[in-house]
Amino acid sequence: MKRRGERIDGFLVLDKPVGPTSTQALGRARRALGAAKAGHCGTLDPLASGVLVLAFGEATKLVDHVMDGAKRYAFEVAWGEERSTDDLEGEVVARSDIRPDHAAILAALPAFLGEIEQVPPPYSAIKQDGVPAYRRARAGEDFVLPARRVRVDALELVGIVSPDRARFEVACGKGTYVRSLGRDLARRLGTRGHLVALRRLEVGPFDLSRGISLETLEAPGYKPGAHLLPVETALDDIPALAVTGAEADAIRHGRAVQLPRAALQLSALPPGRVVAVLEAGALVALARIEDGQARPLRVFNRNT
């Protein structure tokens, strides 16, 4: 059966509002653009807002690459109550009368920098024995997810909202749960806490400066593609390899090509390094550099 919709290639940075799920937001954007193929690069909870990177057409081949990118969030923690979901939606599971002050919070932050151990929230999509954790939690099962190593590059106190609340920003790597971070920070401060607000500010090279709202996207007269970013946007952080037309054709057919003499410096990259193969500035493939050759990993079929 022929897929309905138009062939559209590229990324869209949606400023997701609080309320819809990531899948619902993607569906609305896909209908607004009339796109045949679409996906999103990392889920945002319904209670979270901000950067939701949507991929269309050939850009969907880079979803995993975008999801691996660094992220930045703004979040707010309410002190005094820990909840089953680590956010506003859950039931209260513990309380504390302790309210940390500015100095105490600043002193606690360094413990959460670098590679840290983190237990994901029970209401998460992580699978245990093949079953998503949130399904087990909703069924009333008593379980604890194993701790995982995650990376936190920066954690800043933005301000004290009130004795009961504080705002933060965090830059972190893939797999970091900000809800868990808020919970663990509260515990380290000798109190309990949960997230009352979460906004994603950046995902890899995509940030809110490029964002568009669902209302703008769905407004009468909106021109589909007006905010569409090239597929190559996702690859700003990896080396580029320019090839000739003949080399590009070989790579499109799955064949490795010898590195051009002008690109021999790429052979000095760490073994297995991935590069973006470009022909006249257009993305041809992702390739792995091995033994002086570029071996295609993922080939892109672009409109001409």
Where do the structural domains in the chain lie, given as residue ranges?
10-69+205-231, 71-195, 238-299
CA–CA dist 39, 52 (Å, integer) = 10
- In the three-class reduction of DSSP (H, G, I as helix; E, B as strand; rest coil), residue 151 is classed as strand
Intrachain domains 71-195 and 238-299 with the same fold: no
Please, what's the largest Cα pairwise distance for the chain?
Answer: 70
| Domain 71-195, classified CATH 3.10.110.10, yes or no | no
Q: Tokens for 122?
A: 């029970």
Encode the chain (304 residues) as per-residue pLDDT tens digits.
345 778 899 999 999 999 999 999 999 999 998 898 999 998 898 999 999 999 999 999 999 999 999 999 999 999 999 999 999 999 999 999 999 999 999 999 999 999 999 988 876 667 766 767 667 767 667 677 788 999 999 999 999 999 999 999 999 999 999 999 999 999 999 999 999 999 999 999 999 999 999 999 999 888 877 799 999 999 988 888 888 899 999 999 999 998 765 555 555 666 678 899 999 888 999 999 888 888 999 999 865 4
Q: For position 304, what pLDDT does the model report?
A: 46
Q: Counting every residue, how long is the chain?
A: 304
Phi, psi of 161 (to 5 degrees): -75, -45
CA–CA dist 210, 168 (Å, integer) = 22
CATH T-level assignment (fold) for domain 238-299: 2.30.130
Q: Is 45 a catalytic residue?
A: yes
Q: Going by C-beta distance under 8 Å and a sequence separation of 6 or more, which residues neighbour residue 263?
A: 241, 242
Residue 167 near residue 16, CB atoms below 8 Å:
no
**Nearest Cα residue to 105 out of 188, 198, 222:** 188
CA–CA dist 216, 214 (Å, integer) = 5
CATH code: domain 10-69+205-231 is: 3.30.2350.10
Q: For position 139, what pLDDT does the model report?
A: 64
Q: For position 2, what pLDDT does the model report?
A: 47
**Nearest Cα residue to 301 out of 254, 256, 240, 234:** 254
**Which entry of 9, 45, 86, 184 is annotated as an active-site residue?**
45
Q: For position 1, what pLDDT does the model report?
A: 38
pTM of the model: 0.88
